Structure 1
Amino acid sequence: MTSEQLRAFLHVAREGRVSTAARGLGLSQSGLSRQLQSLEAEVGTRLLVRTPSGAVLTDAGERFLPHATRALEALAAGRAELERLSGTPRGPVVLGTLPTVGAYLLPDLMAAFTRSHPEVRPRLSQDHAPVLEEGVARGTLDLAILSLPVRRVDLVTQLLWDEPLVLAVPRGHRLTRLGRPVALQELTDETWVRIPGMVGARAVEAACEARGVTPKVALETDTAEALGRMVERGLGVAVVPQLMATDAPAHGFDVVPLTRGSPRRQVALVHRGQGYLTAAARALKDAIAEHVKQRFRPTPR
């Protein structure tokens, strides 16, 4: 039984779909399926059943889940202890991140980090904040950059930055020509492009609900890059964090500020505590904090 098999099992149990778990692990679906089959052969019973709606744990799988979680936690703690003895960051580290952070903050950060820590092997996994939080709690993620609030009190949370939400609109849009900040309540008739579950999408839903209308959604996506491209092509407008709009001219859309008092996004670094972090994870955590310090200054709400 290997840690790769256990990690594959935990990812599928968390995601509920082999395809989604495979993307998160950076594996092909066939490669992930082979890991699962090898694990089931090792334990001598079926742990998962595929159904039209996704992968479902069997009774044996439900019973095995907490043991698999503890086994990976024990391996991570042992690896961290050995790395503390050597003092040199090396080996894998898994960072979970929001799509906008992955696309607009991490490329420069990771380029510098891999140059300074060539023996560390980072892996990125993008998802929504609740999924990332659960991944950290289960130990499938070493660190996560996600939006607050964090629900679990057993996790360590470090605020990285606080930023306003803004409106991304196609070039020359009527809202650009207004030349002033707009309120979300003014925009309930607009057609939207969104990433479901993200702060911007929730803010639009709340504004529309207050007006008693349903948002007109042209398209949903799960990546920040696709969101920006769809706005560029005129499919709709989107509420996005300021991070995504920093270099708006290069991305081909206009940015319209929202009025004072509009929702903001607080972004934090989350982990299970120093004792769970390997030397590689601690090095990445410090690099994230330093990079953010150079780029942002936390502002009051």
Structure 2
Amino acid sequence: MNTEQLKAFVQVAREGRLTVAAKQLGVSQPGLSRQLQALETELGVRLLVRAPGGVVLTDAGERFLPHARRALEALAVGTAELGALTSTPRGTVSLGALQSVGTYLLPELVRAFKGRYPEVLPRLSEGLHDELEGRVASGELDLCIVALPLRRVDLVAQKLWEEELVLAVPRGHRLTKLKRPVELSEVVEEPLVVIPGMSGTYALEAACEGKGVKPRVAVEMDSAEGLRRMVERGLGVALLPALMTRDHASRDFDVVEVTKGGPRRQVALVHRGEEYLTAAARALKTFIVDALRRSRHE
């Protein structure tokens, strides 16, 4: 029995699907299946069975799951304590982030971080809020950057910044010509380009509901950069965090502010607690917090 097998089992139990769990772990599905089979052989019992809707735990699997989680948690704490003895951070640190953060903020931050800590390997991934929270809680990620509030009470959050949501519209759009901030109620008849699960999407849906209008969704995306490109091509408008529109002057879209009191988001760095962080994870956490604090005062 090894940690990779335990991680495979815990991940499959959480996701309920081999394909999803394999993707999250960065392994092939056949490789994941072999790890699970080896674990079952070692234990001498079936832990999982395939069902039409995915994979379900057997009674033995349900009984073994909390023990597997505790074993991985104990290993993480032990690793973190040993890492604290190392004066020079090194090794891998895993950081998850919302797409808007991963695409438009992390590249420059990670470049600067690597310049200071060349022996640390950042392992970055993007995802939706609930997924990232779950991966931190399970120990799969050391840190994540998500919007507040948190869904879970067992995680620690440190606020990084707060920003408004703004409208990205095709160049020369009628909303641009108004030359003033607009109410979201003025946008409900527009074709919309959205990423399901984003805070801007929720705000637009709420505005449409308030006006008794069904949202005119022109395109659904799963890519932040793809969403901006759809706006540039005139397919619709999008409500985005200001972070995603900083370079709009050099791109083919305009930015229209929303009236005072409009939607905003608070962004935080999240982890399970200092005792779970390796030296590398603590170095990255401190670096991100300090870098963003300096940028606010420049």
TM-score normalised to structure 1 length: 0.90
In structure 1, distance between residues paired with 2:63 and 2:192: 43
Equivalent position of 1:66 in the other structure: 66
Which residue of structure 1 aligns with residue 226 of structure 2? 226
TM-superposed CA distance for 1:250, in Å, is: 3.6
Partner AA of 1:20 in structure 2? V
Matches of 1:41 and 1:295, distance apart in 2:
54
What is the aligned partner in structure 1 of residue 270 from structure 2? 270
Deviation of 1:251 after TM superposition, in Å, equals 4.1
**Alpha-carbon offset, residue 52 of structure 1:** 5.1
d(CA) in 2 for partners of 1:184, 1:161: 23
Once residues 237 and 287 of structure 1 are traced to their aligned partners in structure 2, the CA distance between those partners, rounded to angstroms, is 35
1:11-64 CA deviation, whole Å, 9 max, x = no partner?
333333333333333334444344334333333344344455444334333333
Q: Deviations over 1:104-162 (max 9, x none)?
A: 01011112222322222221221121222222222222111100001333321110000
User: In 2 relative to 1, CA 172–58 (structure 1 residues): closer, same or farther, beyond 3 Å?
Assistant: farther
Contact 2:193 2:231 in 1 (8 A): yes
Report Cα offsets for 1:48-103 as digits up to 9, x if no partner. 44455444334333333222221111111111111112222122211111111000
Q: Which aligned pairs between 1:216-255 and structure 2 lie closer than 5 A?
A: 216-255=216-255
Of residues 217-226 and 45-54 in structure 1, the stretch that sits farther from structure 2 once superposed is: 45-54
Looking at structure 2, the residues matched to 140 and 117 of structure 1 have their Cα atoms a distance apart, in angstroms, of 22
**Unaligned residue ranges in structure 1 (runs of 5+):** none
1:39 is matched with which residue?
39
Taking only the aligned residue pairs, the percentage that are identical comes to 64
Q: 1:99 to 1:47 in 2, by over 3 A?
A: farther
Counterpart residue number, 2:81: 81
RMSD between aligned residues: 2.0
3-state SS of 1:296 partner: helix
| Matching of residues 16-165 of structure 1 within 5 Å | 16-51=16-51, 53-165=53-165
CA contact (8 A) 1:97 1:132 kept: yes
Query: Are positions 1:279 and 2:290 aligned together?
Result: no
Greater Cα radius of gyration, structure 1 or 2: 2
- Counterpart CA distance in 1 for 2:66 and 2:177 is 56
Relative to structure 1, is the Cα distance of residues 246 and 48 closer, same or farther in structure 2, using a 3 angstrom cutoff?
farther
CA distance in 1, matches of 2:179, 2:29: 49
Q: 1:84 to 1:236 in 2, by over 3 A?
A: same
Q: TM-score, normalised by structure 2?
A: 0.91
Report the residue type matching 2:65 in the other structure.
L
Question: Post-superposition shift, 1:224?
Answer: 1.1
Contact 1:80 1:279 in 2 (8 A): yes
Q: Counterpart amino acid of 1:206?
A: A
Counterparts of 2:21 and 2:100 in 1: how far apart (Å)? 20
Deviation larger for 93-102 or 27-36: 27-36
Q: How many residues end up aligned between the 2 structures?
A: 297
Asked if structure 1 preserves the Cα contact closer than 8 Å seen for 2:86 and 2:279, the reply is no
Is residue 25–residue 125 contact of structure 1 (8 Å, CA) maintained in 2? no
Hey, what does 2:189 align to over in structure 1? 189
